[in-house]
């Protein structure tokens, strides 16, 4: 899901001409593999570290977007790690 664009739930115009667009919440990148790699400290399923995994449920959308960007970088730098 790295780098994925969030899709609008709806797009309605108000009488004032402005667009009211609500974004869908960012979904967890968890792939239910849940095994930590000792060498990197990342989960081999989702490439998050324990701190990112623990914080995800209460995190705001900005934090989640930053984690997804980090995962995208990790996918490039740790290609052999992902299950």
pLDDT tens-digit profile of 39-69? Answer: 999 999 999 999 999 999 999 999 999 999 9
Q: Enter the tokens of residue 48.
A: 């998050």
pLDDT tens-digit profile of 4-50? Answer: 556 555 555 556 666 666 778 899 999 999 999 999 999 999 999 99
* Domain range annotation of the chain: 8-77
Burial of 57 (0-12, 13-18, 19+ CB in 10 A): exposed
Give pairs for 17-23: CB < 8 Å, separation 24+: 23/61
Whole-model pTM: value is 0.70
Q: How confident is the model at residue 78 (pLDDT cuts 50, 70, 90)?
A: confident
The predicted structure's pLDDT at residue 59: 97
Closest alpha carbon to 53 in 40, 39, 43, 66: 43
């Amino acid at each position: 899901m790295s780098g994925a664009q969030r899709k609008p739930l709806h797009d309605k115009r108000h009488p004032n001409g402005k667009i009211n667009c609500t974004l869908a919440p960012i979904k967890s990148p968890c792939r239910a593999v849940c095994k930590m790699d000792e060498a990197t400290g990342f989960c081999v399923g989702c490439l998050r570290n324990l701190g990112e995994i623990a914080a995800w449920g209460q995190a705001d959308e900005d934090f989640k977007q930053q984690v997804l960007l980090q995962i995208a970088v990790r996918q490039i730098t740790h290609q052999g790690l992902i299950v």
